[in-house]
């Protein structure tokens, strides 16, 4: 990126690189820290996200096969709640049209609803510390932001998931002290972890690590599985 670009143009290009996932991890963390305190930068990123989303506008909608539609009804409403259209609605082009529209709307609602549920809580607007944990193969990326006022750590799993019948556990490593568990990461994409008061002063200059553990977390109080990623906690 050229240093000769005006500041707004440089930020617009930076927001585009972030939206496309092209920034290196350290630059992405710095950009996310700026997002928390710069409304104009958030607006630039939102413009990019909207423009990229529009790339799918030309994709023709496809009605789901009957077996998928039936299965969706079953999961949502159970056998008693299935919609049973009358003959006037179930036959002819009107029934086909309405069925296609209803199916499309329902599928979109399921997609959007699932995405919102997975996102969960949002990060603090002015975090005191941030960290990005990236595994060596980049198949696991975690972003963490500490809210000093609330004493909570927002954690977002941007990619990756625990192995089957395993869980991910977050650890605080302060200096040469033994790792201290901050808890098992939630199944949802994002969550908030309460940091005990005794540990809050130890966050500055410390590191975060995530390990692969049995369901429920480490049974020993120390990492027992592979340490998947480690990152320094940085001031914003």
* Same-domain check for residues 81 and 47: no
pLDDT digits (tens, 9 = 90+) for 67-98: 566 666 565 555 544 444 444 434 444 444 44
* Same-domain check for residues 172 and 82: no
The CATH number of the domain holding residue 174 is: 2.60.40
In a domain, 124, yes or no: no
pLDDT band at 222 (very low <50, low <70, confident <90, very high): very high
Q: How far apart are CA 25 and CA 98, in angstroms?
A: 47
* Same-domain check for residues 138 and 180: yes
Residue 3: how many other CB atoms lie within 10 Å: 5
Q: How many domains does the chain have?
A: 3
Structural domain that includes position 33:
7-56
* Same-domain check for residues 133 and 103: no
* Same-domain check for residues 222 and 199: yes
In a domain, 78, yes or no: yes
pLDDT digits (tens, 9 = 90+) for 177-193: 899 999 999 888 889 99
pLDDT of residue 60: 64
In a domain, 24, yes or no: yes
The answer to whether the pTM exceeds 0.75 is no
* Same-domain check for residues 80 and 164: no
* Same-domain check for residues 134 and 103: no
In a domain, 1, yes or no: no
- The backbone torsions φ and ψ at residue 48, rounded to the nearest 5 degrees and listed phi first, read -60, -45
Full DSSP string of the chain? --TTS-HHHHHHHHHHHHHTT-S-HHHHHHHHHHHTT-HHHHHHHHHHHHHHHGGGTTSPP-PPPHHHHHHHHHHHHTTTT-----HHHHSHHHHHHHHHHHHHHHHHHHHHHHHHHHH-SPPPSS-SEEEEEE-TTSS-EEEEEEETTTTEEEEEEEE--PPTTEEEEEEEE-TTSPPEEEEEPPSSSEEEEEPPTTTGGG-TT-EEEEEEEETTS-SSSS--S-EEEEEE-EE-
């Amino acid at each position: 990126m050229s240093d000769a670009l005006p500041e707004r143009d440089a930020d617009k290009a930076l927001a585009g690189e972030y939206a496309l996932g092209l920034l290196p991890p350290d630059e992405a963390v710095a950009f996310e820290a700026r997002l928390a305190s710069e409304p104009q930068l958030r607006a630039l990123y939102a413009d990019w996200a909207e423009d990229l989303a529009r790339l799918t506008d030309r994709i023709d909608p496809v009605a789901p096969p009957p077996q998928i539609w039936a299965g969706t009804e079953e999961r949502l409403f159970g056998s008693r709640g299935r919609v049973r259209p009358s003959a006037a609605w179930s036959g002819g082009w009107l029934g086909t049209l309405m069925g296609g529209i209803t199916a499309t709307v329902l599928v979109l609602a399921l997609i959007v609803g699932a995405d919102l549920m997975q996102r969960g809580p949002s990060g603090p607007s002015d975090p005191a510390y941030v960290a990005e944990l990236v595994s060596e193969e980049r198949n696991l990326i975690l972003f963490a932001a500490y809210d000093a006022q609330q004493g909570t750590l927002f954690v977002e799993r941007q990619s990756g998931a625990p192995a089957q019948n395993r869980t991910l556990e977050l650890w605080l490593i302060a200096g040469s002290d033994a790792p201290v568990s901050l808890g098992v990461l939630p199944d949802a994409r994002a969550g908030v972890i309460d940091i005990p008061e005794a540990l809050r002063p130890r966050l500055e200059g410390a590191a975060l690590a995530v390990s692969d553990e049995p369901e429920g977390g480490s049974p020993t109080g120390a990492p027992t599985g592979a340490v998947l990623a480690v990152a320094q906690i940085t001031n914003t």
